[in-house]
Structure 1
Amino acid sequence: MQTIQFDKIPEQALSWHLAGRKVAIATVVATWGSAPRPVGSQMVVASDGAIEGSVSGGCVEGAVVIAAQDALTDGKPRLLTFGVSGDDAFSAGLACGGEIRVLVEPVGNEIGAGQGIPVVLLEEIVAARATRRPILYLIDTESWIRDLKRPDNTAKTGIEGVVFTHLHEAPLRLIIAGAVHVAQALIPMAQIVGYDVVLIDPRGAFATEDRFPGVTLHEDYPDDILPQIGLDRRTAIVTLAHDPKIDDPAIEAGLGSDVFYIGCLGSSRTQDERWARLLARGYDDGQLKRIHGPVGLDIGSVGPAEIAVSIMAELVAKQRAGTARPRMSTRLCDR
């Protein structure tokens, strides 16, 4: 079964184009109100009707697909505005109403007016993402002039005036130490959310292709592999092995980097023992407070699958700066 990854639209678009299919990329450039998908969300549409990704929750999608087909016919990009309210808003996932602006760009500029995104630019975006280098894509929505730049620390995705800038960051990545049952449940969840997954375990009987098909496997200890992989702020580390020889090197690598999340499986007693070992190695309380342990949100989980759900929920909350509190309201919309 192929895993759908919603953060892989540039890669999917390039793959389809190189396979000889005509494709267009739709990107959310601005939203107002209760939009279901954030700015920068993308969808790829092929002339044969295939689609991947999403720019909204329902009715807007259909209109974008039609516009994409038109763009593939005449080679011209489009900047679309959808004002959604009432029944249409609810069916599109905009329960409070709102507005969405969507940019539709055919890939390749050999058709008609030749105003599509040049393949060479799409290739550069995909290459940068593959090497975990952030890259900034800029497009003037009047002249359709495009450029790629190296972003600074203030760069972000959004539209200002007629210029839309799209910050393509390195894909989210989850490094798991321990090829155990929880990992088998967690990995497909992470992949669906959009994480690239790396699994590390020196135990050959655990880290097998049969148990983890299609996953990047390293049959080695984390301290031998992680320096080669490299760690960055778009990376999370989860240790599941229950073996300090496997877990602790991964934790220490995370503590020495700017990964956004470190989570460790184990009981409270196991966490106390882990904390004591790391204190003895010279880490202080401030550093060790970065460790989420026991890993995952407290949802009363039992068994590998439910534990994986709790881990995935905590990962999302951490990466999105969520509160992890129940979202309840007596009103349909908070204004």
Structure 2
Amino acid sequence: MSRFRIIAFWACLFWAAAAVAQERNIAVTPMLIDNVDIPERLCPVMQQKLLQIATGNGYGSNSQEFVLTANAVTIDKAAVPTVPPQVTVGVDVVLYVVNAAEQLIVDEYTVSLSGIGRNETAAYTAALKQLKPRSPEIRRFMSTVREKIVEYYAERVPVLIAKADSYAGRGEYDKAIDVLSVIPEAVPEYPDIAARMSDYYVQSIDREADRAIQAAKSEMAMGRIESSLAILNTIDPLSSRFGEASTMIESLLQPMKEEEKETYSEEVAVHNQQKEIAAQVENNEEKRDKMVLEASYEQSVERTTATVEDSVALKKRITEFLASEQGK
């Protein structure tokens, strides 16, 4: 993470922790399947509709397990002998939320649309405009989906906790956090989930801090000031080792003249930002707990976004699954 990204990350995190607590969104990945019965040039329009349905109804838009998709079936198409000639279409759009990992349809909902235009594309465009992401019917559908996803995770909590503890026992704290980060806040066991995630995060950053401190000491022994500062600035201000790291940084900066410090202005800016964060949570346990939990979530999102299944492969898998379901 670059120096300025570090500053931006902690500024955003501090704001998030200070904000009024809100329930974390359940996530679904909006993804239009292949072979949808609409003109190809309108597929991006449909994809955007799926994104709006997810985010407009209180969902996150990146999930490791659940996909919001749609199929469109043309029910009626006719030329209208007007001047100029026009085309009418009737199309059923079937919305699906699919458990991608287990190949299960969580729920589905059909919206019947119609449109008229000077050609087929214009007619389909007019029809798709009638698909309202926050219509009462779609809101009810997405609310039902939310309840079913919460039930799904509630049933799996013991298994997920055991899996996370197994990872943590091997020192694989990131994997342990990622396992628990998908569990919605609505499950009864959530306070225990949050406490475990925070504990894993602190253990992880303390371990990384110990490594960074040892590496920085080696660099300092060889007189490498810039690399020493850069290494020490990687230490999380929420780590219990941050005080030691801060003292080491001050010992490097204290003997310098002001013009010499200017050489390391970026490193100094990062350090000052992190010191401010550490100072503000030092005597505020509630704020510190919120920031630790928020940091564990934020970094889990970064990891899962980077490692989520290739979208082409996932789309192919979902397309084939729904085709097999429709063929039954």
Structure 1 or 2, whichever has the larger Rg, is 2
Per the normalisation by structure 2, the TM-score is 0.27
| Greater relative contact order, per chain length (Cα 8 Å cut-off, separation 6+) | 2
Per the normalisation by structure 1, the TM-score is 0.27
Higher strand share: 1
